[in-house]
Amino acid sequence: MSLVVAKNLEKTYRLGDILVTAIRDVNFTIEPASFVSFVGPSGSGKSTLLNMIGCLDPPTMGSLRVAGRDIVRMDRQQAARFRGEHIGFVFQDFNLIPILTVFENVEYPLLMVQNWPAPARKKRVGELLEAVGMGDQGNKYPRQISGGQKQRVAVARALVTNAGLVLADEPTANLDGETANRIIHLMKKMRDAFNTTFVFSTHDPKIMRDAEIVFTLEDGKLLKRRNDEGGAHG
Amino acid sequence: MVNVIKIAARNLRRYQRRTLLTSALIALGVVAVLLFISITGSFKQMMVGQITDAMIGHLQVHRNGYLAAIDNLPLNRNLNRKQVAKVKQILGETAEIESFSMRIKLGAMFSNFTETTNIRLNTVIPEQEVKTVPLLIDRIIQGEKEESLLKKGQILIPELLAKGMKVNVGDSIVLVANNKDGSVNGQTFTVSGVLEGITGPGGRDGMIHLDDARQLLRINDVEVSEIAIRLKNMGDLPGVFSGLKAALESIRDKNDRPVFELHTWEKLSPFYNIAKMIDLMTLFIKIMLVAVVLVSITNVMIMAVYERINEIGTIAAIGTLPRRIMALFVVEGFLLGVVGTAVGTVISLISIAAINAAGLTFDFGRQSNLVLAPTIGAGDVITIVLIVIGIAVAASVQPAFKAARMDPITALRHV
């Protein structure tokens, strides 16, 4: 069963008196444990699409199923619960909580979203920090670590709840080339280790090369799909 | 919930200066209110105590219409034997009553054999009077402060009269009075003491034995102008008042009008208005405290939400339920209230102890060197603590609600 199924997806915004169509008649599927990238220029609709998949923004038209659930008609509460259970997020600006240590940032979803008991939390957070190479940095605060390290912590936080899908909106935009590469390879490694689907947006050609499936967007339309074998589908 | 409290506490620590300032403002408000309540409260309690325990008693029973004419001290509105017996029976059946004292009040001419002036007299049965108004003995500023108060043939004269007429303890004086039939009679008395004057009705009256009054006024039967009542516990006043009022009002004359009237000290003493004003001022101070807490906490929480919009977007995106986000901010407000209240209460209690230790004195009316002894009841402290914490929580609700309702995408885009 596909993890994400989008059919005739459309998103329209109202900007004053003008209706702006951000996504037009988009259809795609994403399989479990895949490594997918949405690429395209600024304003092409990458972030809007990721927000819709992440239950943060409902589509105006069409159907969208994630992990077997129709997410189009979810209310705020249901959407929050669904995100907490099934989706992890990695943000461009890392978005770690500054008052919490690295350990506590990774622990946060287990503590405040999924209510895990303390021993299980400690074990799981320890595993994830080790997996992303931050095992010895748990007591540091976000201000005490580098950008690349912050994004590693963000990846650990996205994976800690056993989410089947991690959405990363321009995860390397604030990192230098080498660090960006490392983060993408870390995400791939995590996909292999945890069988988690990673979907990220980027406009960096070097990064998009690492994606196994690339969806190209332009003006809200899905132009083509390229598999890692090099095949492109219109 | 513990985790919410931990995170809220850390958020408060993140903005240390702001947290300190807001807590200090709340603490200052709490100190102002608790000190005001303790000082005015003890002042009020002392004055009420003086009035009830040294003069009026907690309640008084008169014949209906007596109080309206009390300035003339009308003898023709005294209670008769049958009426007195009825009141005594009702009072005897009321368990909350400690004691009662029967009095005849009259006006007379006072002569020191060279000068004559008028005097208002409170005539009492000393044993009853001392039980009913126990501080009366303390008002004797010259002469023996005896438990028996005074004997037959003796008079306690008011301080001003003693000074004005140059009368000392041991001097003989003459009282001349009209009885209710209009005939005049005179009687010699020995001054046994001088009574300190206090504010309120009867506070500058002289005092003689009830039996002497009956002789002076040629009263052959039982007659009483008023019956002062002391309760075991002043807190029972409202309940006892309504019970006695119902019992006394059920006794009617032939025209179906109540025979008796019953009043609390509040109705009898003008100080009650001052006491009411003190209560009103306390209320205003409490309202000001509420306003201070409300404005400062709302302001801080609005700022906290505004500064953390991006963070709210992050925690909302990763699945934190809106009610949990709301709880985070409400708990922050709650903690600010708790910290401010705790600090304010500790400072207040230390200040009250310091004022008591310093033994500050003040003057009130003609009384000087009254020692300021502020006290505060646990009830008042708990009330203020609950009000402040309640308002702190209430003030956080709107900003917290705003945070909980925030659209994650808009919040995440916020820089």
What's the pLDDT tens digit per position in A40-93? 888 888 889 999 999 999 999 999 999 889 989 888 889 999 999 999 999 888
| Top-confidence range, B36-45, B142-151, B159-168 | B159-168
Pair B288, B29: CB distance under 8 Å: yes
Any chain A CB within 8 A of the CB of B89? Answer: no
User: Is A199 in contact with A168 (CB distance < 8 Å)?
Assistant: yes
Closest by Cβ to A56, choosing from B4, B322, B409: B409
Nearest residue of B to residue A80, measured between CA atoms? B319
Positive or negative, the Cα torsion across B9, B11, B16, B21? negative
pLDDT tens digits, one per residue of B322-376? 999 999 999 999 999 999 999 999 999 999 999 999 988 877 655 667 788 888 9
Q: Is B322 in CB contact (< 8 Å) with chain A? A: yes
* CA of A231 vs chain B CAs: smallest distance (Å): 34
Task: Answer whether A113 sits within 8 Å of B320, measured CB to CB.
Answer: yes
Work out the mean pLDDT of chain B and round it to a whole number. Answer: 88
Closest CA to B5 of B413, B392, B336, B351: B336
CB contact under 8 Å between A111 and B3, yes or no, is yes
Compute CA distances A68 → A56, A156, A196, A213, whole Å: 17, 24, 15, 21
Cβ of B14 within 8 Å of Cβ of A99? The answer is: yes
For the record, the structure tokens of B192 come out as: 């046994």
For residue B144, is pLDDT > 90?
A: no
Residues B90/B83, Cβ–Cβ less than 8 Å: no
8 Å CB contact between B285 and B36: yes
Nearest CA in chain A to B319: A84
Q: How many residues does chain B have?
A: 415
Q: For residue A233, what pLDDT is reported?
A: 41
Please indicate if any CB of chain A lies within 8 Å of the CB of B413: no
Indicate the pLDDT class of residue B125, thresholds 50, 70 and 90.
very high
Helix (H, G, I), strand (E, B) or coil at A234: coil
β-strands A197-202, A35-39 pairing:
parallel
Q: How far A9 CA sits from the closest chain B CA (Å)?
A: 19
Residues of B in contact with A83 (CB under 8 A): 317-319
Distance from CA of B364 to the nearest CA of A (A): 57
ipTM over 0.90: no
Q: Within a 10 A sphere around the Cβ of A135, how many other Cβ atoms? A: 14
| pLDDT number for residue B200 | 64
User: For chain A, what is the total number of helices (H) and then of strands (E)?
Assistant: 7, 11
Q: Which of A64, A59, A66, A63 is nearest to A85 (CA)?
A: A66
Give me the sheet containing A165-169, strands edge to edge. Answer: A87-90, A165-169, A197-202, A35-39, A213-218, A221-227, A232-233
The predicted model gives A96-105 an average pLDDT of 91
- Count, residues in chain A: 234
Asked if the Cβ–Cβ distance from A99 to B10 is below 8 Å, we say yes
pLDDT of A231 above 60:
no
Residue B224 has a pLDDT of 93
- pLDDT value at position B155? 94
Q: In this model, does residue B103 exceed pLDDT 50?
A: yes
Which chain A residues are closer than 8 Å to B310 by Cβ?
Answer: 93, 95
User: Which range has the worst mean pLDDT, A202-211, B58-67, B111-120?
Assistant: A202-211
How far apart, in whole angstroms, are the C-alpha atoms of residue B307 and residue A230?
46
pLDDT in tens, A154-178: 989 998 998 889 999 988 888 888 8
For an interface test with B, the pick among A95, A104, A107 (most B C-beta atoms closer than 10 Å) comes out as A95
To the question of pTM greater than 0.95 for the whole model, the response is no
Residue B98 — left, alpha, or beta (φ > 0 → left; ψ -120 to 50 → alpha)? alpha
Whether residue B313 has pLDDT greater than 70 = yes
- Which residue in A198, A145, A199, A195 sits closest to A175, CA to CA? A145
- How much is the average pLDDT of B282-292? 86
Q: Which of B7, B15, B19, B314 to mutate to test the interface with A (most CBs of A within 10 A)?
A: B314
Inter-chain touch A89–B14, beta carbons under 8 Å:
no
Interchain proximity B317–A89, CB inside 8 Å: yes
Residue in this structure with the two tokens 């009384």, named with its chain if needed:
B367
Closest Cα in chain A to B312: A97
Q: Which of B4, B11, B314 sits opposite A91 (nearest CB)?
A: B314
**Chain A: closest CA distance from residue B298 (Å):** 22
- Residue B304 pLDDT greater than 90, yes or no: no
B-chain residue closest to A57, CA distance: B409
Q: Does B310 touch chain A (CB under 8 A)?
A: yes
Side chain identity at residue A68, one-letter code = G
How far off is chain B from A135, nearest CA to CA, in Å? 22
- State how far the Cα of A32 lies from the Cα of A37, in Å rounded to an integer: 14
Instruction: Answer whether B319 sits within 8 Å of A109, measured CB to CB.
Output: yes
| Residue matched to tokens 């006892």 | B240
Which chain A residue lies closest to B8 (C-alpha atoms)?
Answer: A99
> How many contacts, defined by CB atoms under 8 Å, are there between A and B?
69
Sign of CA dihedral A134, A136, A138, A143: negative
Nearest-angstrom CA–CA distance, B241 and B146: 32
Using a CB-CB distance cutoff of 8 angstroms, which residues of chain B are in contact with residue A114?
319
Q: What is the pLDDT of residue B261?
A: 93
Contacts with A109 from chain B: Cβ below 8 Å: 318-319
Contact state of A51 with B10 under an 8 Å Cβ cutoff: no
Q: Is the dihedral of CA B206, B212, B213, B218 positive or negative?
A: negative
CB proximity B408 to A under 8 Å: yes
Contact B3 A100 (CB under 8 A): no
Closest CA–CA distance from residue B234 to any residue of chain A (Å): 53
Q: Select from B4, B318, B323 the residue whose CB has the most chain A CBs within 10 Å, as the one to mutate to test that interface.
A: B318
- Record: contact B314-A88, CB cut-off 8 A: no
In single-letter form, the type of residue at position B174 comes to V
Give burial (CB, 10 Å; 0-12/13-18/19+) of B271: buried
Which residues in chain A are contacts of B317 at CB distance < 8 A?
Answer: 54, 56, 83, 89
Percent of chain B with pLDDT over 70: 98
